Structure 1
């Protein structure tokens, strides 16, 4: 299945923390869509630049705009078969959405410091 023919959550497969986080969500049946490393998708099918995909997960859905970061995770949880899918709905509420986005950015910036991280988890940011 290509990234453009069905919904898919794209994550940084070179990052150990990202890979473990997606596996954790999947093991708990919290992913409402299949997930794959963006590195396994042909460049012409990527919904964003590789630089952008290195900084956040991206959920692609046919006919809809891609979602990134906390919004992508919330949408995946909302569509999951888990009884916890209500958490995805909560994360879409205006006040909680802003908080979820801030927490996601904080975690993404510091993912190289978190359990399961590898050298590839560190993202050098320009000045």
Structure 2
């Protein structure tokens, strides 16, 4: 997938993920240069598609860099046009906060079907 803007890839079949993506688009990037797209409508390699089913992905426009999960969130926050997000993005790049943020992200991903807007279709299945 080539683009001139970063692309944030999320699970479009999950209502919780879709609502979270819409909130992020509105409040973090302010409709700015990031393209928000469900993975189901992206032409991703098999490994990236498998990752996108478990975590959000932020794809760099040159296609050589991919951030996932809490790292994608941190990069979004650091590059937000709203300066008040920058400290949180910077904090999430530090080892202790990154570990804690990653644990919270993984818990949220595993339990997204239980969260507001979640449905049984949002549940992650182990292979």
TM-score (norm 2): 0.85
**1:96 match:** 97
- How many residues in Structure 1 have an aligned counterpart in Structure 2? 121
C-alpha contact 2:70 2:105 (8 A) present in aligned 1: yes
CA–CA distance in structure 2, aligned partners of residues 120 and 36 of structure 1:
18
Unaligned runs of 5+ in 1: none
- Cα deviation, 1:59-104, whole Å, max 9, x if unaligned, reads 1102542111010111011101112222111111111111111110
**1:67 match:** 67
C-alpha contact 1:38 1:46 (8 A) present in aligned 2: no
CA–CA distance in structure 1, aligned partners of residues 22 and 72 of structure 2:
16
Does residue 76 in structure 1 map to residue 72 in structure 2? Answer: no
**1:51 match:** 50
Moved over 3 A (4+): 45-49
**2:19 match:** 20
**1:109 match:** 110
User: Following TM superposition, by how much is the alpha carbon of 1:120 offset from its aligned partner in structure 2, in angstroms?
Assistant: 1.9
User: Following TM superposition, by how much is the alpha carbon of 1:121 offset from its aligned partner in structure 2, in angstroms?
Assistant: 0.5
Unaligned runs of 5+ in 2: none
CA–CA distance in structure 2, aligned partners of residues 14 and 90 of structure 1:
31
